[in-house]
Amino acid sequence: MKIKLLIAASAALSISFSAIAKAEPQAEVLHWWTSGGEAKSVAVLQNEFSSRGGSWTDMPVAGGGGDAAMTALRARVLSGNAPTAVQLKGPAIQEWYEEGVLADISSVAEAEGWKNVLPASIANHMKCEDTWCAAPVNVHRIDWIWANAAVLAENGISMPTSWDEFNASATKLQKAGITPLAHGGQAWQDATVFEAVALGIGGPEFFRKAFLELDKDTLQSDTMVAVFDQMRIMRGFVDSNFSGRDWNLATAMVMNGEAAFQIMGDWAKGEFLAAGKRPGIDFLCTSTPGDGFLYNVDSFAMFEVDGTDKQAGQLLLAELIVGKNFQKVFNMNKGSIPARVDVALDDFDLCAHISAQDMATSNSNGSLLPSYAHGMALRGAQSGAITDVVTAHFNSDMSSNDAVEMLLKAVANSM
Ligand code: BGC
């Protein structure tokens, strides 16, 4: 049964726009931006909202990747008390739309001309049938390697350009007593590393077939076996305390020289920057070996709520989120690049420039791909099924062949 039937349906339709325009904007905002860099970034939105007369109730739910936040969201919606605005992305937006609980923000999108300033690939994620149902914040890239510059220099190591080179450097570092790979053993972090490895080893077409099309032959291919082989090698490069560690603590290991590398989306850069570390000097960034670009677009969806004050808050938030100033300041803190195409990147750092250039190249040669690990490519049931296998393999001595067999079954069962 649709959740919509469980909640009062009267709200949005019966309230006139003039009443909304006169109301004092309010918003309860559910998000999972709780690390140092993330909190600094979300504060930009909070401040802009307050300076336009809005009153913001923060609902942070800690937990990288947002799994805990999504559980909290489900509980709130089921109890008929949805938050006003929610950090939500990819196909999950459409899944919630199908439940009939999302507010339509087309009036803002049209007034602000979103279709002229957002690339079609991003705009498509924000649309539900003919309406706009989410506002995009940024473009995060997933397939990055971060490194401690001094540790690499002291050990005569450069940023890897192939997985073999990565393995050789990691082995050398390990012998020197340095943890090669800072990692947190949480399912979403395992999936983050896995998809970067899969893109690197298999290439963009392999990635597309495996994680967008769920093509059986690709899922059980020798290439997929090779991807799991590399994951087994990576498992040997993490320290013994990796289990359950939060991603930002893994980033801190790279910052303080305890570890050399981290494979993580560029919110890790937000963390380095918040700690005063300088790109190209204190820390290095390069894309993981191989072609392609895995994107992850954060966005906010508004849920249907009662009250003109909350509805006014939703419209104001949507306007601010896609606003030019917010897109610049927020993304300089967050580590991502703007979703809007017309924000000048002059004040952004060198990693952001690499990201923007690579994104343009990938967009033109067909290798711009949505991240499966960060909920951009598949519906929850399918991405969850893949991640369960990835994490089961990473945390056991399962063979690559067994992992591939399990992957095929898990994906089939999730359909
Ligand atoms: C989100 C980022 C966030 C990261 C770590 C990702 O899924 O897109 O905005 O910083 O998770 O929590």
Question: For the chain, which domains are there?
Answer: 24-140+297-350 (3.40.190.10), 141-295+357-414 (3.40.190.10)
DSSP character string of 374-395: TTSSS-HHHHHHHHHHHHHHHT
Atom of ligand 1 nearest to the CA of 38: 10
- For ligand 1, whether the C-beta of 90 sits within 6 Å is no
- For ligand 1, whether the C-beta of 183 sits within 6 Å is no
Q: How many CA atoms lie within 13 A of 373 on its CB side?
A: 29
Buried b (16+ CB within 10 A) or exposed e, 284-323: bbbbbbbbbbbbbbbbbbbbbbeebbbbbbbbbbbbbbbb
CB atoms closer than 10 angstroms to residue 213: 11
- Ligand 1 binding pocket mutation candidate from 29, 31, 33 (most atoms within 8 A of CB): 33
Atom of ligand 1 nearest to the CA of 140: 8
- For ligand 1, whether the C-beta of 65 sits within 6 Å is yes
- For ligand 1, whether the C-beta of 235 sits within 6 Å is no
- For ligand 1, whether the C-beta of 67 sits within 6 Å is no
Q: Write the residue with the smallest CA distance to atom 7 of ligand 1.
A: 65
Q: Could you list the pLDDT tens digit for every one of the 415 residues in the chain?
A: 445 444 444 444 434 667 787 889 999 999 999 999 999 999 999 999 999 999 999 999 999 999 999 999 999 999 999 999 999 999 999 999 999 999 999 999 999 999 999 999 999 999 999 999 999 999 999 999 999 999 999 999 999 999 999 999 999 999 999 999 999 999 999 999 999 999 999 999 999 999 999 999 999 999 999 999 999 999 999 999 999 999 999 999 999 999 999 999 999 999 999 999 999 999 999 999 999 999 999 999 999 999 999 999 999 999 999 999 999 999 999 999 999 999 999 999 999 999 999 999 999 999 999 999 999 999 999 999 999 999 999 999 999 999 999 999 999 999 9
Can you give the pTM of this predicted structure? 0.95
- For ligand 1, whether the C-beta of 298 sits within 6 Å is yes
- Ligand 1 binding pocket mutation candidate from 31, 32, 139, 188 (most atoms within 8 A of CB): 32
| Paired tokens of 397 | 């001595």
Atom of ligand 1 nearest to the CA of 375: 7
Q: Write the residue with the smallest CA distance to atom 11 of ligand 1.
A: 65
